[in-house]
A and B are shown apart, each in its own frame.
Chain A
Amino acid sequence: MIEIRNVVKKYGNKTVLDNVSTVINRGEITSFIGPNGAGKSTLLSIVSRLIPKNSGEIIIDGTLLENWDKNQLARKVSTLRQSNHLNIKLRVRELVSFGRFPYSNGHLTKEDEMYIDEALDYLKLRDIQDMYLDQLSGGQRQRAFIAMVMAQNTDYILLDEPLNNLDIKHSVEIMKILRKLVDDLGKTIAIVIHDINFASCYSDHIVALKDGKIVDEGGISRIIHKNLLGEIYDMEFSIADVNNMKLCVYF
């Protein structure tokens, strides 16, 4: 369980996160939604120790984030950001191998190779494992990065807009993989996501943010609600029930 307690983040005088508290439960997909500038990505970056917070506490499995050993934490929580531009030329398999660094420090063992193979198979990358990343399509590249995170084999996976720049086919593919990671392997996943319909169809728990505050959180039926979404996005919403899924129509 990841507990976020009274987290405050300021850039100069501007408060980006204002006393945010919530919990990321084990074995669930938790989605963070909200308009641009709501503080979703900032919150995720703070939990994944990429940026410092002004005050508050992050507690991962009962231990304060600051007290975790960096290497142990890398075996517990993995993160993927929205832009994954690399300055080096890398093959798919080499990238995925980096996921084993917290365990092997770069000297891959048989066990490491096993995890790498497993991740490559899981994301259907076996055929292209020797291709360079810059030769791949956006969807393949995103899958390669997710494979790296999977090889890292952490209980918690934090993803910042994993569907960024992907078409609907690849978006669905990625979300199904994430769902499988949670249902089959018992992982815990937190994502920042812009498409509320994807959030509605694939998450267990949704946290809605606006202006650095949590407006509401809960299950699908509670959050995917016309009044609440209307309040967050300042738009008219209508919600349709299709095949037991709640879809938002806002066009």
Chain B
Amino acid sequence: MVRKKSIYFLAVSAMALILLFVFWGLSGSNWGYFLSLRVPKVLALVVTGVAIAFSTLLFQTLTNNRILTPSLLGLDSLYILIQTLVVFILGSTSLVLVNNKINFFISVGLMLIFSTLLFKGLFKRETSNIMFFLLFGLILGTFFQSLTTFMQMMMDPNEFLHVQDRMFASFNHVNTEILLIAIIVISALILYSIKYFKLWDVLSLGREHAINLGVDYHKTIRNMVLIVSILVSVSTALVGPITFLGLLVVNLAREFLKTFEHKYIFIGSALISIVALVGGQLLIERILNFGTPISVVINLIGGIYFLYLLLKENVA
């Protein structure tokens, strides 16, 4: 009952914020212009919010740890490395950087190839050691960051500005064509995933219990890593790196709903995610007058919550 009420409350808040975002300040003379800006933006916020919540939830289940985020896979570091490389080698006026569609496909493609190779190479059926796989992802991620910093140091400051633009998530210039592709990919993934929710519930008991209950552990983990990689790649290429939000919303959903079932945590965290993103964007656009990128606000709140989580786990 409490669970239903919480979800209902979250859904209403999310809806209200979305309506407020789209219709605030519209008048008879400006609605055409504003709607053409705001509708894609709000769609981007919703689809990224859902993708981030879902990927973090899955990632926490597959690692059996509720303080990790998919950024451990090194995908967002890779994304920034790709952007930096493009500017470094081809320059800020190159087609790959300027044309969003080409950039999107190249980035998503490279990120997927990377995570597939990483998984194939390190996650052997015999040992099934997920931690080893993650450790390697983490180290590669750090390596990418160092490479990126190195190139940024040598770069022309004007060129660097173009890279910096891509380093923080931003919803201020959403490309509608990419948005459409992202919406299709992410919706299809979620529809495909619904039938696995119960299986993932079992997986959250841990590897040994899951195997005991007849789960094909290796196959399931492989599927999950693939889904997480696609979600993270698509949402990162759409708006930039923003995986930190996931930690916040998934854990809030767990606290609110007090359940282990993926079905509820997914809906709850997706709604909280939409509330946070749409609300955050409202705050930045209408109150802070575009003063800061949204990821700065979210990372600040997320960071504080993360510290709180660590301290709490430490006491318990």
Contacts and interface: CB of A to CB of B under 8 A. Distances in A.
B214 A98 contact: no
Nearest to B127: A52
Nearest to A90: B260
B208 A50 contact: yes
Interface stretch (B7-15, B47-55, B197-205, B286-294): B197-205
A74 B64 contact: no
Interface string B194-230: 0001110110111111011111100000000000000
Interface string B163-185: 00000000000000000000000
Contacts of B65: 87
Contacts, number: 60
Contact of B208 (A79, A89, A102, A107): A79
A31 interface: no
B214 A74 contact: yes
B127 to A, nearest CB: 8
Nearest to A102: B214
Interface string A78-97: 11110001111110001000
A88 B205 contact: yes
28 contacts: A48-B211, A50-B208, A52-B126, A70-B214, A70-B215, A70-B216, A71-B214, A74-B212, A74-B213, A74-B214, A79-B212, A80-B212, A81-B208, A86-B205, A87-B64, A87-B65, A87-B206, A90-B260, A94-B260, A98-B205, A98-B209, A101-B214, A102-B213, A102-B214, A105-B198, A106-B197, A106-B198, A106-B201
B258 interface: yes
Nearest to B124: A52
Given A79-B211, A85-B206, A105-B198, 14 more contacts: A48-B212, A74-B212, A87-B65, A87-B66, A88-B204, A89-B258, A90-B260, A94-B260, A98-B201, A98-B205, A101-B213, A102-B214, A106-B201, A152-B212
A5 interface: no
Interface residues of B, number: 23
Contacts of A106: 197-199, 201-202
A102 B215 CA distance: 8
A89 B212 contact: no
The bracket for how many chain A residues form the interface is: 20 to 34
Interface of B: 64-66, 126, 197-199, 201-202, 204-209, 211-216, 258, 260
A75 interface: yes
Contacts of A10: none
B53 to A, nearest CB: 17
Given A48-B212, A73-B214, A75-B214, A101 B206 contact: no
Contacts of A124: none
Given A52-B126, A94-B260, A87 B204 contact: yes
A152 B202 CA distance: 13
B201 to A, nearest CB: 6
Interface in A182-198: none
Interface string A45-76: 00011101000000000000000001111110
Contacts of A50: 207-208, 211
Nearest to A74: B214
A73 B216 CA distance: 11
A98 B208 CA distance: 13
A106 B65 CA distance: 22
Given A79-B208, A87-B64, A101 B202 contact: yes
Nearest to B65: A87
* 3 smallest beta-carbon distances between A and B, as pairs: A74-B214, A106-B198, A88-B260
Given A70-B216, A88-B260, A49 B211 contact: yes
